[in-house]
A and B are shown apart, each in its own frame.
Chain A
Amino acid sequence: MTDTLLDIRDLRIALPAGADRPYAVDGVSLTLRRDEILCIVGESGSGKSLLANAVMGLLPGAVRIAGGSLHFDGTDLARLDPEAYRKLRGRRIAMIFQEPMTALNPIMTVGEQIDELLVAHGMTDKASRRRRVIDLLAATELPEPELLYHAYPFRLSGGQRQRVMIAAALALEPDILIADEPTTALDVTTQKQILTLIRDLQARRRIAVLFITHDFGVVAEIAHRVAVMQWGKVVEEGAAADVLVRPHHPYTQRLVAAVHGLSARPELAAHAAEPLLEVVGLSKTFRTSQGLFVRRRREVHALRQVSLTIHRGETVGLVGESGSGKTTLGHAIVRLVDTDAGEIRFRGADILAQGGARLRATRARIQMVFQDPFASLNPRHSVGRILTETPRIHGVGKAEAETRARRLLELVGLDASAFGRYPHEFSGGQRQRIGIARALALEPELIVADEPVSALDVSVQGQVLDLLADIRKRLGLAMLFITHDLRVAAQVCDTIAVMRRGELVEIGPAAEVFGKPRHDYTRRLLASVPGAGWTDRPGTRLTAG
């Protein structure tokens, strides 16, 4: 038995005609050995996911292998007939995916979905199948496996669903586990648990793991070896310890540098003492009620007595996991949701009491930047219209609005020719620049930015964050920066506010919150940041600039 399980040689995967390049994967050679975790790192479009799908024999219809070879344990995968390939999948090569929320069939129970895999690979005895499924659910540390067997996926959290996926993938003790960004959609604390689980199971069962990620923090947590992909080619490969500390290729250096440490930037923290926005005792409960005769209530406390002050020129980072209420707070400040109790004072006036013209005037001073640069710009409006529409509504003349729009484009680093073009002609990072320009069009004093970089590739994230920092310095803006990513928060925020289940559990200067966290939950969040041990232990990494 050889040590090499997977041998990829000079693999080329052709894209359909009309794509941005002829080959998604262009001459990649890699080996995966028994008992190791190989991380393939790359940004969107690098070809890393197609490479994984090629190994599984699950390439999308229009995409095909155009050259090279794929050998698994001595078998040429290209020569395998469909039935033999099917028998390989799930039994000897298993795969888990990025999006646990949609990766399970919504109308089949958790137990059935693992059970059908055992049936498909020839396990006939029903009782022993059931025992195996329950053992697997227990092995992936899921609570009450007996009950869970009969549960439908919608009852499970994202982390639990990913555990079910892992249980199914490991059901027949495969030789290779392919994990395609398995923790990207999860909260940090959940991500930490899943990474630990994969690492433990890998070590215990001595399987080979092909782990695909865009995040060098995750690489630091889990990888033995790393291959970095850019535009379909492997640009650097080596032991994780080497690549993380001494990246050779400029692209790798950029990706590694994009993973910032958790210490706050010292040059921040200079802002006026004058409060701009004061949130006092803000509460919001979402209620759903059903039933004709007896009203049954389900209540979600999105905000509980939240108080927070943002000073002129200050950037407050609002961090927390999904469901913590941070987006609700952001929406409440721009009055996109109504609240139940509390006050929001902007320049001393309670904006919750405002309506009509006064509210419109306030709204011009508080603007929002949204998370998804693809969904938040109207695809049928030209960039010029997007940038001039609101100023025109607020009474700015046409010529004046257009002049301003062109100045804004320059400010956010886009060419003035963007004015007449449409959002789909731009990349994600460029669109987010348009989104920022749109928010600035009314010359606001406060920007509420809700996860403005989390939909972007890491290298683009850096550019957009630099832009925000630059704009804030030049225009003296205050910002409420909502993010789930503590590294991002560390880069741009003066003050950090930590939310958990609707409550503000800790707030303080960034250096203090990151350096000496007072609340337990904050400590847990910080400990969960992938690669924290790597970036924040002095001397273990080269600080590339």
Chain B
Amino acid sequence: MKQLEFIAGRLVKAVIVLLGIVILAFLLIRATPGDPAAVLAGEAGAVDAEFMQRVRAEFGLDRPMAEQLAIYVKQIATLQFGESYRQQRPVLDLITERLPATLLLTLSAFGIALLVGVSLGVTAARHVGRWPDMAITVAALVFFAVPLFWIGLMAILLFSVKLPWLPAFGMETVGADYDGIDALLDTIRHLILPATTLGLFYIAIYVRMTRASVIEVMDLDFVRTARAKGIPEGRIWRRHILRNALLPIVTLASIQAGNLVGGAVLTETVFAWPGIGRLAFDALLQRDYNLLLAVFIVTSALVILFNLIADLVYALVDPRIEVGA
């Protein structure tokens, strides 16, 4: 009951937040120079005022800004995201086509980051001040500091060009028409480079967070109590140190799970991954307002959703927190 009330409350807040995002995104996009009419006209090679006027009238871009916003909000309220100016298809179709690819990429990257980052962080903490700690900390710092796209390009150079082990771009081998298990393996081969690249940046964050958290918990009183009780070291690490040290990681991870979708734009562009990030990138270049706004709204909704899940998970792993209390 309490949980349901809590979730209902959060959903109400989510709607308010989304409305704010819609309005803000709408105004931001309109504030950028250029509009779809100009882009279309430019591509058609017919930059005359009459053509542009016609396009603007067709999309309703000639009306006052406030009116456009009101119309748009009303449409969104009834879940009508409209059509892409450019591709002449419903925006929602375009997004649902691309979303699975993005989710596959980001969740793989996220999984890698979490697994590798936390393991390395714990290893560093267990050897604090000695060489494994130094090596891990320095490596994490390097990957944190180097730009994502550069790592991506270098990875392509090394593993696709110099050593032809992995495909450099796309999600599947064009024209191969694999079936079943072969198709799956093909996708995995395509996934390795972009997912690892995207993951590397986040690994660094998890290494540092986990290391700091474990070092802090290691010295807490209840760990000393456990030792005084004669609990074996293995169990002290599993039940007392790690379980407590990972609580802040849960928070961080669930907040980042939402942001990963946005963070994938660069990676998807570098690796020509057919995901929502690429879609947004192209939509921005083409001033495809409806599509761009819809991508904003969907990714924002995902962030909000992940945050809600985070709160519920947190209440599950930490008995001191009661959902709704």
Contacts and interface: CB of A to CB of B under 8 A. Distances in A.
A104 B221 CA distance: 7
Interface string A100-111: 001111111100
B320 A117 contact: no
Given A107-B318, A291-B324, A102 B227 contact: no
B319 A58 contact: no
B320 A293 contact: no
Contacts of B229: 89-90, 94, 116-117, 120, 168
A88 B222 contact: no
B5 A293 contact: yes
Contact of B230 (A87, A103, A290, A294): A87
Contact of A89 (B230, B320, B324): B230
Contacts of A109: 319
Contact of B228 (A94, A104, A105, A152): A94
Contacts of B247: 107
B151 to A, nearest CB: 37
A290 B240 contact: no
Nearest to B225: A103
Given A107-B319, A291-B324, A292-B12, A120 B230 contact: yes
A292 B220 contact: no
Given A107-B317, A152-B320, A154-B320, A102 B222 contact: yes
Nearest to A56: B228
B325 interface: yes
Interface in B221-253: 221-222, 224-233, 235, 239-240, 243-244, 247
B230 A117 contact: yes
B9 interface: yes
A105 B237 CA distance: 12
Interface in B242-266: 243-244, 247
A494 B173 CA distance: 90
Nearest to B128: A61
A107 B244 contact: yes
Interface in A78-93: 86-91
B232 A105 contact: no
A102 B217 CA distance: 11
Contacts of B227: 56, 58, 89
Interface in B140-163: none
Contact of A86 (B232, B239, B244): B232
Interface in A151-170: 152, 154, 165, 168-169
Contacts, number: 95
B183 interface: no
Q: Say whether chain A's binding surface is mostly helix, strand, loop, or mixed.
A: loop
B224 A97 contact: yes
Contacts of A103: 221-222, 224-225
A102 B221 contact: yes
B231 A106 contact: no
B312 to A, nearest CB: 16
B240 A58 contact: no
Nearest to A86: B230
B317 to A, nearest CB: 7
B285 interface: no
B226 A105 contact: yes
A369 interface: no
Contacts of A135: none
A519 B239 CA distance: 48
B230 A105 contact: no
Interface string A192-213: 0000000000000000000000
Contact of B235 (A95, A120, A292): A120
A58 B224 contact: yes
Nearest to B231: A120
A91 B231 CA distance: 10
Instruction: Give the residue among A87, A105, A121 with the most B Cβ atoms within 10 A.
Output: A105
A151 to B, nearest CB: 9
- Sort A-B residue pairs by CB-CB distance and give the 5 closest, nearest first: A90-B230, A292-B9, A89-B230, A102-B221, A90-B229
13 contacts: A86-B232, A90-B230, A103-B225, A105-B239, A106-B222, A106-B320, A116-B226, A116-B239, A117-B231, A120-B229, A120-B232, A154-B319, A292-B5
Given A108-B240, A120-B231, A291-B9, 4 more contacts: A58-B224, A102-B220, A117-B231, A168-B229
